Each structure stands twice: as C-alpha cells, then as structure tokens.
C-alpha cells in the first residue's frame, strides 16, 4: 500500500489526480483543500462519506479529505511528525508521492487584477518545501507554469516555441506577473530541495490545461456553451488572435506521472501540445460543432496577457518518449459534448 498526499485536491488538476490515483486499490490518497476555489468532493467524487473526525472526512479507509488551509496543516505536520495520527488516527510512516496543487491561480482577470493575492503562492510554496525538507516524502511533484517563461519571448513581434532552456536561473528574463514569479521561485525551491536535501522532485510546466469537468467560469467550457447557444455576434477578449497551447487534462496527468518516474533532480518540463491555437480558432472549432459561423465582436478593453504562449515539446519527446494523445479537436469535442448536450 502506498500513501499519497495531494494538496489543492478539490481544484481542477487536483481532483483529476485524486480520481486517477484512488482508482488503484493499492493507493491510499489523502487530499487537502481549503475550498477557496475548489469544490467539495460530494459534488465530484461519487463515493459515500463513511466517517468524519473533526474537519477530516473519510470515504472508505483509503480516501481521506481534509478541509484546511494547507499552510496550517504543513505547520502542524512540520512541528509534530505524528500530527495526523494524534489528530485524526491516520497512521503514516512516510508519504510516498506528494502532489502540490494548492495555489491561488485564477485566470487573466486575477493575475492582472489582484497580483498581491496571487503572490500568496510564495507563502504556500515556502511552507510546502520547508515541510518537504523536514519530513522527506519519497517523491514530490511541483507544478510550475508556462507563466514562468520570460514574457519578452511571447510578444507579437517576437514569439517562439518556448523550450525548457529558455529558463536559465543564471540568465533570466521576466516572468508573467506575480504568478510567474512565484512559480519560478517554486522551481528554484524545488531544485534546492532535490540538490541539498536529497529528495526526489519533479517540476512540470503545464501550458493551458482544459477538460470536460471544468465549470463555466473557465474560458474553454464558457466558449463551448456560448457556441451551443449560437451567440452572434460572438464576443472575444482582445482581438482573439492571442494564442495558447491547449492541452487536455488526461494528457497532463499521463505526462506528469511518467515524468516522476524519470526525473528526480527538480528539472522542469513542458507539458503542452507544442501547438499554438488562437482564441479565434477555438471559437471556430466550437461554432463548427454548433453548425454556424458568427460575426466576431472583439472586446478590446479586456485583459488578454501575452500574445503567444506555446511550447517546444522536443525535450520531453526525446527524453521521456512522450507525446500528447488527445488532439485539440478531439479534446474540444469532449468539452462540447459534456457542457452542451442539454442546450
């Protein structure tokens, strides 16, 4: 039996990882979330709660949810290695895999609109790596982000497919707002943890992850629903020519788990399709599914972020032998069917 810890386990990536890992009966999964953004497991877990001890909910013996600010839990677990046993009767010698998805993420509106709130990620990550270096789980996954890449490589006049080597701590450009800076700092802490404390750490830089279980506050399902409703004219933030590298959550999880088997020194890898798709192209795909061609209405006062953010997947292909399996059209079709079947 392996015991894994997932922070931010009720958010988009976290709940997909909780479901993936808990489908193996040899895994015990403990997940933590303060539900500031995430949704309670009763809405997505499809399992009955069997026991509750204080703020800790058990879904059978091997699936345990703690509704908590992860920082407070880390402080307790750092101070007392038997904290979970004393507080909740959960016996653990050493965590096997720890996935750290708790973060203040938000979309463009939060990244540009409240950068100091997003900067709290620095405090979550600092507490996290401090605990890791005291209690030494077997393996750690740190999700960085494509936002850690220098923004001057993503402008309209100078956009390239971002390679892992475009982040070099000895020769730096400027990441995207406090979100990018905190992710870059997290990568640095990850590297120090692996090198100086001898813990296996893997960093990933997912590009724009999407999936059918995102709700309508996320851009991809929202565009899908508006297309199903035959919105016309179709509103888009900015010109719509800005592009991202959209990657389906199932591919993100596959690549993440493979990377943890192969990388232990804190090295960060890209996870994307390696393909730039503009928001106009996304609208085109969904309106094609819906069977109409709308007039486009650009909303030029909305925040749009960098012009072009996509990755070079050569390193991952050559060193991990991995490529995404779900094409943009296939992934968008899944989102459309999930969100638009009743429209």
For residue 35, state whether it binds ligand NAD (rule: CB under 6 A). Answer: yes
For residue 70, state whether it binds ligand NAD (rule: CB under 6 A). Answer: yes
User: Residue length, the chain?
Assistant: 343
Nearer to ligand NAD (CB atom), residue 229 or residue 327: 327
How far is Cα 184 from Cα 299, in angstroms, rounded to an integer?
31
Provide the 10 A C-beta neighbour count for residue 342. Answer: 5
How far is Cα 130 from Cα 134, in angstroms, rounded to an integer?
6
Q: How far is the CB of 167 from ligand NAD (least distance, A)?
A: 14
Q: Are 202 and 264 in contact (CB under 8 A)?
A: yes
For residue 33, state whether it binds ligand NAD (rule: CB under 6 A). Answer: yes
For 150, 152, 186, 205, the CA distances from 16, given in Å and listed in that order, are 29, 33, 22, 17
Sort 9 into a burial class: Cβ within 10 Å, 0-12 / 13-18 / 19+: buried
Nearer to ligand NAD (CB atom), residue 145 or residue 312: 145
For residue 246, state whether it binds ligand NAD (rule: CB under 6 A). Answer: no
Q: How far is the CB of 208 from ligand NAD (least distance, A)?
A: 6
Q: Are 261 and 323 in contact (CB under 8 A)?
A: no
For residue 38, state whether it binds ligand NAD (rule: CB under 6 A). Answer: yes
Nearer to ligand NAD (CB atom), residue 40 or residue 51: 40
Q: How far is the CB of 249 from ligand NAD (least distance, A)?
A: 8
x/- string (CB under 6 A) for ligand NAD, residues 98-117? ---xxxxx------------
Contacting residue, 3, 14, 31, 118, with ligand NAD by CB under 6 A: 14
Q: How far apart are the first and last CA of the chain?
A: 44
Contacting residue, 3, 5, 6, 11, with ligand NAD by CB under 6 A: 11
Pairing of strands 51-53, 27-33: unpaired
- Position closest to ligand NAD via CB: 11
Q: Which residue ranges make up the site for ligand NAD (CB under 6 A)? A: 8, 10-14, 32-38, 69-71, 101-105, 124, 143, 145, 206, 208-209
């Amino acid at each position: 039996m392996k015991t894994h810890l997932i922070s931010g386990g009720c958010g988009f990536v976290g709940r997909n990882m909780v479901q993936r890992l808990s489908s193996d009966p040899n895994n015990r999964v403990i997940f933590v979330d303060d539900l500031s953004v995430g949704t309670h497991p009763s809405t997505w877990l499809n399992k009955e709660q069997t026991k509750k001890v204080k703020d800790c909910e058990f879904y059978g013996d091997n699936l345990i949810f703690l509704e908590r600010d992860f920082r407070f839990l880390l402080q307790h677990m750092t101070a007392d290695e038997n904290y979970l046993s004393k507080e909740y009767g959960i016996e653990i010698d050493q965590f096997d895999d720890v996935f750290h998805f708790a973060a203040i993420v938000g979309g463009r509106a939060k990244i540009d609109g409240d950068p100091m709130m997003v900067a709290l990620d620095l405090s979550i990550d600092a507490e996290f790596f401090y605990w890791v270096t005291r209690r030494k789980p077997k393996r750690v996954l740190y999700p960085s982000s494509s936002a850690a890449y220098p923004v001057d490589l993503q402008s309209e006049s100078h956009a390239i497919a971002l390679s892992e080597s475009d982040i070099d701590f000895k020769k730096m450009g400027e990441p995207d707002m406090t979100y990018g800076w905190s992710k870059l700092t997290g990568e640095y802490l990850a590297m120090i943890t692996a090198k100086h404390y001898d813990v296996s750490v893997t960093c990933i830089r997912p590009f724009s992850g999407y999936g059918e279980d995102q709700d309508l506050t996320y851009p991809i399902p929202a565009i899908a629903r508006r297309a199903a409703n035959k919105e016309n004219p179709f509103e888009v933030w900015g010109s719509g020519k800005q592009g991202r590298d959209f990657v389906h959550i199932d591919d993100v999880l596959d690549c993440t788990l493979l990377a943890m088997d192969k990388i232990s020194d804190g090295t960060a890898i890209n996870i994307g399709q390696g393909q730039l798709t503009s928001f106009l192209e996304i609208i085109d795909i969904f309106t094609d599914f819906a069977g109409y061609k709308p007039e486009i209405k650009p909303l030029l006062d909305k925040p749009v972020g960098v012009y072009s953010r996509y990755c070079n997947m050569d390193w991952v292909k050559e060193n991990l032998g991995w490529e995404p399996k779900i094409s943009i059209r296939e992934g968008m079709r899944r989102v459309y069917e999930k969100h638009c079947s009743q429209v």
